[in-house]
Amino acid sequence: MDFVYLKKDFARLYGNSEDSRIFFAPGRINLIGEHTDYNGGFVFPCALSFGTYAICRARKDSFVNLASANFPEKVSLDLADFSYQMADGWTNYAKGVLHELISNGYRIGGADIYVHGDIPNGAGLSSSASLELLIGVVFDTLFGCGIDRVRLVKMCQKAENQFMGINCGIMDQYAVGMGMEDMALLLDCNKVQHKYVPLKLGNNKILIANTNKRRGLADSAYNTRRAECEAAVAALRQRLDINYLCELDPDTFERNKDLINDPTVAKRAEHIVYENTRALEAVSALEAGDLLKFGQLMNASHISLRDLYDVTGAELDALAEAAWNVDGTLGSRMTGAGFGGCTVSLVNENKVDEFTQKVGAAYREQTGLTADFYVADVGGGATEL
């Protein structure tokens, strides 16, 4: 990141940058465990080495000035009185976090903030959670709030749920806030507890492929899937004392799935129960050094998301299926909400160029779109640099 360039922009907007400070929050990918987070299950994400940067400094008044290198909207708001405004675009995510800080009694003041993100917009790599944790850590640090990091993560999730009206689970904010270099997080989304798992990938690389298709259906389909999962729980509660689908192991689900009369709802529930088990099996395989098994579980995850949960779409399927046909690919699957966004693949480091060439060509032939590819380095969580 060219901080000289960013500081020049900051100085142009707000005067000199001599007393400015630099903060960073990563994007994230989820290696396996998809749509299990809001079903009380396990997910296995990691933070990325790229994300969102902020050049900022505290002010002596109550005004917060927000500008970005990525978007045209610029906002100056008074902490004493601000609200969601659709015309304010990306800055509403920052406002939501500020609203949470103030609502929870933290004493914060004004600030000048200039943001630059290098997460591809709309790729499903958690640019919104990255921005939220970035703003949270900026104000926590500038004003000495001393906020426990998990508490800050929960506040950022609440900001997205209530201020932005997006009913996300906790995985994105947690991975961005709690990420650690060269580690993935096995996160229990019900208990909100995690353990770090070393990403010992041998001579393999994590490769992200971006469909470059904006996730137009993702939000509406996401809410529909949540409702279908809740319907499955309601049906199963006729016989079982459960609050979430991920409380069930596959055997218990198979013995009781007759309670779900709607075949579509039954398919959704089947994906969730088996995907939750796959996440745990994948971590065990990684810890045992069995990367072949890990890759097979990634493939099975995508197939389930395609056939049972119906959230992949033609573009993600084209990328995953092309990846499966390239020698040196251990596994490939969609990552994130679906209907566009990205796939994540585990690829032999000597085959990365061949992978991008062959998968890119097959994808272009099938969809008419051009995919972008990134080798993903695993980074740390939100912090001051």
Q: Supply the residues annotated as catalytic.
A: 172
Is 47 buried (19+), middle (13-18) or exposed (0-12) by CB count in 10 A? buried
Q: Which helix (H) or strand (E) holds 286?
A: helix 263-287
- Reading the block at residue 150, the tokens are 């998990």
Q: What is the DSSP letter of 348?
A: E
Q: At what angle do helices 218-236 and 263-287 cross, to 10 degrees?
A: 100
Helices (H), 33-126: 91-103
Residue 97 · residue 52 · CB < 8 Å: no
| CA–CA distances in Å: residue 371 to residues 52, 123, 320 | 22, 11, 12
CB neighbours (10 Å) of residue 167? 13
Contacts of 173 by beta carbon, 8 Å cutoff, 6+ apart = 129, 132, 133, 153, 154, 156, 157, 160
Q: Residue 91 in 3-state DSSP?
A: helix
Phi-psi label, residue 336: left if phi above 0, alpha if psi -120 to 50, beta otherwise: left
Residue 171 · residue 279 · CB < 8 Å: no
